[in-house]
Amino acid sequence: MSSLFCSPLFYIFLTLFIYTIFSMIYSRFKFALLNPLLLTSIVIILYLLITKFSVDSYTDSLSIINVFLSPLTVCLAIPVFNRIQIVKHYFLPIVVGTIIGAIVSIGSVLLFGKMLNLDQEIIMSMIPKSVTTPIALEISEKLGGIKGITVSAVILTGIMGALFGPLILKLFHIKRSPTVGMSLGGTSHAVGTSKAVEISARAGAISSVAIVTSGIVTVIVSLFL
C-alpha cells in the first residue's frame, strides 16, 4: 500500500491537487503569505518528512514535467509579440532597466557569496536566481551549478519578491505601471508578474516583457563568468 503513496502518478497528482487548492484560496483572499507556490512547497516537504519517503523519488517522479521547460522558454516570445507596441514605447527603459537589474542581481550573488566563503558551485547555482526556471536551469548547468539549489533560489526569489516587492514600491511611493512591472518582472520572474497583474493590467504586461528581456541579459552576462 505504501508503494502507492510514493508512486510517480501519485506524486504528480498530489502536487497538482495541493497547488490547485492553494491557488483557489489565494485568489479568494489575495494575501501574500498564501502564495500557492510557497504553501505547496511547505506541504510537500512536510509530507516527505512525515512519510520518510525519498526526496530523490519525488524529484524523479516529477522529472516528466521538466520535459516541458525547454519549450516553455521558447513560448516566452509570445507575450513579447502580443505586447509589441508596449515594447516599442518603453524599449529604452526596459533594456536599460533589465541590464542594470541583471548586473546588480549577479553582482550581489558574487559579492555576498565571496563574503560568506560559499563554495563556487553554490555561487554559480544562485547566479540565475532572478530569471524564470527554464532559463535559470540552462544557465546553472553551463556554469557548473547544482540544479536543486538553482530551483530553490528561483522559487525563494520569486516568493520574496512577490511578498516584499509591493511593500518596497509603496514605501518609495512608486506607482507608475511601467516601473512596477519592470521591477517585479525583472527581479521576481513569473511569481512577480502574477503580482504585477493584480496591481494593474499594464504593469502585468510590462512585467511579462521584463521576464524575457531579463532572461536574455542574464544569459549574455553569464557568458563572461
Confidence class for position 153, pLDDT limits 50, 70, 90: very high
pLDDT at 159: 86
| Residue among 205, 101, 191, 183 nearest 153 (CA) | 191
Average pLDDT over residues 27-55: 86
Helix residue spans in the chain (DSSP H): 8-29, 36-51, 55-61, 63-66, 69-75, 77-82, 84-89, 91-115, 120-126, 133-143, 147-171, 177-199, 201-222
| Whether residue 76 has pLDDT greater than 70 | no
Could you give the CA distance from residue 215 to residue 131 in angstroms, rounded to a whole number? 5
Confidence class for position 4, pLDDT limits 50, 70, 90: confident
Q: What is the pLDDT of residues 120-152, one digit of tens each?
A: 999 999 999 999 888 898 899 999 999 888 988
Structural contact between residues 27 and 5, judged by C-beta atoms closer than 8 angstroms: no
Structural contact between residues 150 and 222, judged by C-beta atoms closer than 8 angstroms: no
| Whether residue 105 has pLDDT greater than 60 | yes
Q: Distance between the two ends of the chain, CA-based, in angstroms?
A: 49
